[in-house]
Structure 1
Amino acid sequence: MFTLIYEFKLKPTSAQIATFEEWLEQCRKVYNYALCERKDWVNSRKCPVNACSIKSEYIIPADQPAPNYNSQAVALTQAKKNIPALKQVHSQVLQQALKRLQLAFEGMWKNGRGFPRYRKAGRMRSYVFPSMGKEPIQGKYVKLPKIGLVKFIQSRPIPDDATIKQARIVRRASGWYVQLTRQWKVDVPEISPLGTSIGIDVGLIHFAAVSNGRTFPNPRPFKHLEGKLKSLQKKVSSKRFGSNNRVKAQAKVSRLHERIANTRKNYHWELAHNLCDWADMIFAEQLNLKGLARGMLAKSCLDAGWGQFLDILRACCFKRGVYFQKVPAAGTSQTCPKCLKETGKKKLSKRVHKCQHCGYTCDRDVAAARIIEIRGLEAVGHTVVKLSEGKGHVHRRR
């Protein structure tokens, strides 16, 4: 099975916008209520068996099982009979809100993420239709269950040989969007690690350095607009809480944040396509993104968005038929790419690599990219023959 997501901007009527917002609010309430049930059950198990809390205690029977998706979905069905607002929302949309909470807990258990938090008003920005009816695309309209035809801007052609499995309605500062998940019943062959290769080293001075000697500048979208963002946030804080002027000022902040994110993402996609034009194999370093986000350069690292770039590069390589693999990043700047001997640690201020063993000199980031390329070639079973200055590594299959 092969799946792609197509995103289009919606042009809903005022009545449809009111429906979208009401459904988001009901999904938020269902999410928060289900989270409250789970937190109460957890807190009821924290009390010692021989003592009670001074203030209050959660009285939940000891034999009552922990709430999960199945039990809360059954309770949701019963709640819809007593709460008229829930009847207006598509039943599967509300169930997807419970599934989102279940995934949040699974992420906490398996991936070490934090405990799920409540969603305040405005924080729920999307909901999902897990199944679509027949012929959901009708000209310039998309047919949503229980809502009807909603106009959208078809910014790219939609293939007819795929099935629309689900639709996600997303609210952003610039408007409403629909994400259509299309699925093909085909088997996509794996990409073989053959042909020319390049290695990529990401950084702050150069956003990306390539093993062929090319470097790309760091756009720093947040840093360039940080002053304007700070000014808009000051205006928000000066407005009275709950007033329409505060809502308008906050909308300007949201639009600027979206502009920053779009600028960064567009740069990542353009760079990814450039790199795919140069080689048949691309190797990148395996970064500890969580550790970098907690360091002294956390703000600059988050502004660069290396995690998003590597995900986009992987997706672009898959679409273009280019082999992609990550390799360990430890010691890439401490090894000479020509003689492969250790050169010792370098300070961040030292931007030139000069080997004391063979005298090889080049940019520090380019040297690290060439080490990444060598490690990638060795990982896929190639033998590096020699380093050709300006042309990368000549290699052969083992």
Structure 2
Amino acid sequence: MLTMTYEYKLEPTAEQIESIEQTLDICRSVWNFALRQRKDWCASRKSPINACSIQSEYIISADEPFPNYHKQAKQLTQAKKLYPHLKTVHSQVLQQTLRTLDRAWDDMKARGFGLPRFKNKYRMRSFVFPQLGKDPIRDDGIKFPKLGWVKWRQSRPIPFGFQVKQARIVRKASGYFVMLSLQLNVNVSSPMPHGHPRGLDLGFDKFVATSDAEEIKRPRFEITLQRKLKLLQRRLKNKQKGSNNRHKLNQKIARLHQRISDTRKDWHFKLAHHLCDGAGMIFVEDINFVSWQRGMLSKQSADAGFGQFVNILEWVCFRRDVYFAKVNKDGTSQTCPNCGAHTGKKTLDIRFHHCDECGYRTTRDVAASQVLRNRGLNAVGQTVVENVCGLEATGSIGHDTLVGTGRSRKPNSRELGIPSLKVTEHSEVARGRGGCQELMVPID
């Protein structure tokens, strides 16, 4: 089963916007009531039997079961008889709100996430239609239950054979969007290891360094607009809560944040396609990027969006038939990619790799990416035929076979105080492209 999500811009009328906002408000009230019910049930059972809570707690009978999704969905049906305004929203939309809360509650216990939060009118931004009617798609609009036909910008056609399974209406700072979940009943196998391998090392100094000795700087998406963002947020504290001026200023701040987010996502997609050019296998380090946002560089990590980039890269590799895998990250900066020797621990101020065993020199990030590439090749057990200077070299891919000696990316001999001479190496596979390259070879 192949599943994709396409996003389109909606152009609703004033009546449809009012209906969407009313739906969001009712979904918010259902979410808050269900969450309050769950928290009250837990609070009534946290005190010891022989002692009372210091704070007043809502007393619930001891034999009262936990208010899970099935119980709350049954209570929702009964509540519609007492509160008729709940009937103005499609029944499945409210059920999906309870399902989302139930999933968030389970993730809190199973995955260590935080407690679900109560929603104000700004935090509830989307709702889901799990089913659409018959033939809901036209070139100029899409049909939703109880909303009717809504105009949209069909920026790209829906692929042939895919069925629309569900639709999520999202309110953003720039307008309303619909996220269509598309499914095709076909078994698609994952790409197999083949072609040119490429290791990627992510970091703060360089956003990504490849095993082909390419280093890409980390763009500052938020920092470039930080002055404007700080100025708007400073004005916000002088606005009265609930006023129209405060609401307008919040919309300006939200549009600026969306501009930063859209720019980051667009750059991630372009970089992912660039890295897939000429590659058959891509190996990245297996890192928990959530932990990166808890240290002193949390702002820089959130601005770079490493986790989003890895997810986008995995999707682009699947679309372009490139094998993608995560490998162990431990000790990548302490291992020589040329001979495999242990070079010792490096502090963060050391940005160059120098192996005392084989004399191999390159930048630290490129060496780490080459180690990741070697580990990935060992994991898949890949054996290919490489053509080096017109000679067939059959066997396991080594570092020198793939990128030559790689010394064109190391600090030059003048920086290291080593006399050198210029030679030209002819290699068709150096750095993944043909031609000649000049190397600085130290004289012993």
> Secondary structure at 1:179's aligned position in 2?
strand
Work out the CA distance in 1 between the residues paired with 2:57 and 2:236: 40
Structure 1 stretch displaced more, 52-61 or 291-300 = 52-61
> Which aligned pairs between 1:275-354 and structure 2 lie closer than 5 A?
275-354=275-354
In 2, the alpha carbon distance for the partners of 1:347 and 1:70 equals 54
Structure 2 SS opposite 1:41: helix
Q: Which runs of 5+ in 1 are unaligned?
A: 394-398
Q: Which residue of 1 aligns with 2:148?
A: 148
| Maintained 8 Å contact 2:287/2:329 | yes
Shift of 1:346: 1.4
Q: TM-score, normalised by structure 2?
A: 0.86
* Correspondence 1:236 to 2:236: yes
Could you tell me whether the CA contact under 8 Å between 1:12 and 1:151 is conserved in 2? yes
Residues 161-200 of structure 1 mapped to structure 2, 5 A cutoff: 161-200=161-200
SS at match of 2:237: helix
Query: C-alpha distance in 1, partners of 2:55/2:274?
Result: 63
Q: Structure 1 residues 367 and 71 mapped into 2: Cα distance closer, same or farther (>3 Å)?
A: same
Partner of 1:255: 255
Counterpart CA distance in 2 for 1:54 and 1:185 is: 57
Amino acid at match of 1:288: N
TM-superposed CA distance for 1:354, in Å, is 1.3
384, 395, 400: which is aligned to 1:387? 400
Alpha-carbon distance between aligned partners in 1 of 2:277 and 2:333, rounded to the nearest angstrom? 26
Retained in 2: the 8 A contact 1:327–1:372?
yes
Alignment correspondent of 2:411: none
Conserved 8 A contact 1:370-1:392? no
Give me the whole-angstrom Cα distance separating, in 2, the residues matched to 1:254 and 1:139.
Answer: 30
Residue deviations 1:98-122, cap 9 Å, x none? 0010110111111111111111221
1:106 matched to which residue of 2? 106
Give structure 2 stretches of 5+ with no counterpart.
383-395, 407-429, 433-444
Q: Deviations over 1:39-97 (max 9, x none)?
A: 01101111211122344232211111101000000000111111122110000000000
The whole-number CA distance in structure 1 between the counterparts of 2:33 and 2:98 is: 10
What displacement does 1:392 show?
5.8
% identical aligned pairs: 52
- Match in the other structure for 2:423: none
Q: In 1, Cα distance between the equivalents of 2:278 and 2:368?
A: 18
Over alpha carbons, which structure has the higher Rg?
2
Within a 5 Å distance, the mapping from 1:67-86 to structure 2 comes to 67-86=67-86
- Residue in 2 that maps onto 1:357: 357
TM-score (norm 1): 0.96
Q: Higher relative contact order at CA 8 Å, sep ≥6: structure 1 or structure 2?
A: 1
Q: Which amino acid aligns with 1:197?
A: P
Q: What is the CA–CA distance in structure 2 between the aligned matches of 1:203 and 1:57, rounded to whole Å?
A: 48
- In 2: Cα distance, 1:366 partner to 1:239 partner: 50
Equivalent-residue separation in structure 1 for 2:154 and 2:36 (angstroms)? 41
C-alpha distance in structure 2 between counterparts of 1:22 and 1:107, whole Å? 28
Which whole-Å deviations, capped at 9, do the CAs of 1:294-333 have from their partners, x for residues lacking one?
A: 1121111111111000000001111111110001111111
Q: Return the alpha-carbon distance in structure 1 between the equivalents of residues 57 and 338 of structure 2.
A: 68
Asked if structure 2 preserves the Cα contact closer than 8 Å seen for 1:3 and 1:184, the reply is: yes
On the 8 A contact 2:370/2:399 being kept in 1, the answer is no
Structure 1 window deviating more from structure 2 (282-291 vs 64-73): it is 282-291
Give how far 1:248 is off. 0.8
> Structure 1's 266 and 386: CA in aligned 2 closer, same or farther, altered over 3 A?
closer
Partner of residue 369, structure 1: 369
CA contact 1:283–1:326 (8 Å) conserved in 2? yes
Residue in 1 that maps onto 2:61: 61
Distance in 1, Cα, partners of 2:239 & 2:45: 44
1:2–1:188 CA contact under 8 A, matched in 2: yes
Task: Write the distance in 2 (CA, Å) between the matches of 1:288 and 1:7.
Answer: 28
In 1, Cα distance between equivalents of 2:322 and 2:310: 14
The CA distance in 1 between the partners of 2:190 and 2:291, in whole Å, is 32
Q: Which amino acid letter does the alignment assign opposite residue 305 of structure 2?
A: G
Aligned residues: 393
Distance in 1, matches of 2:57 and 2:235, equals 43
Residues 55 and 292 (structure 1 numbering): CA distance in 2 closer, same or farther, change over 3 Å?
closer
In the alignment, structure 1 residue 117 sits paired with structure 2 residue 117: yes
Residue 386 (structure 1) shift:
4.4
Aligned residues: CA RMSD: 1.3
* C-alpha distance in structure 2 between counterparts of 1:210 and 1:59, whole Å: 60
Q: CA separation in 1, counterparts of 2:148 and 2:39? A: 37
State the SS of the aligned residue for 2:213: coil
SS at match of 1:119: coil
**Alignment correspondent of 1:218:** 218
State the match for 1:396 in structure 2.
Answer: none
Q: Give the Cα separation in 1 of the matches to 2:398 and 2:318.
A: 28
- Distance in 1 (CA, whole Å) between partners of 2:57 and 2:5 is 47
